[in-house]
Structure 1
Amino acid sequence: MSKFRYVILQLGEELQFVEMPADYAYQLSALILRLNKEIDKLTADRVPELPAAVAECAELEVLREGTSLLTGLAYINRLEEVFASIQEKEYPLISLLTEIRALQAQLEQWYEEEEERSH
């Protein structure tokens, strides 16, 4: 069994491929779905565009040159930065940030444990 799954996200015409530890791929998909459900409730001037989670798969073979594959931790770190920078006054943004940061902490721990195992 592979230790990774791939979450495929779509933003406009662009596809993003995120390599997630298999045990956490569903959490990223669920988080993206929840963020998309809540993003319209934000009242800040600059609300980021979010990709839609379109698929998850166990194996991925990228055929187009220049297509990038993000690690789950890199993706969630970027997502946390984007949401932390939103100047929201009405919506309880902290609840969304808490969910993002919870997955971020789990991924950091997973990558640390993987690094320890490989030494």
Structure 2
Amino acid sequence: MTTRLFRLAFVTALVVIFVLSLMPVPEGLMVFSWQDKVEHVLAFFGLGLLGLASRLGRPVVTMTGLLAYGGLIELAQGMTSYRMADPADFLADAIGVALAAVTIRVWMQRTI
């Protein structure tokens, strides 16, 4: 996949995740109690991998931007009547970003 395709996938994922984050959650979608935290970790892990693969600039800036994006989502959810801002969701976002950074770092060291 070329850098341009990674960038397109990254931007698309950012938009899709933001839209999904602001939609009402239908009843009965939760299978287990921490499901939403796992979803946050996985979403931000994927965003982190795509962001780093997109080579948008320095990795620290990309990861910091994703943390700010996670905070923005929580603020936006807090402004709706059907969602709520949750600091634990932001922590899950940060864990996902950190896992992506570690994964890329380990992968880069193994390919050198």
TM-score under structure 1 length normalisation: 0.37
Higher helix proportion: 2
- Larger relative contact order (Cα-Cα within 8 Å, sequence gap ≥ 6): 2
Higher strand proportion: 1
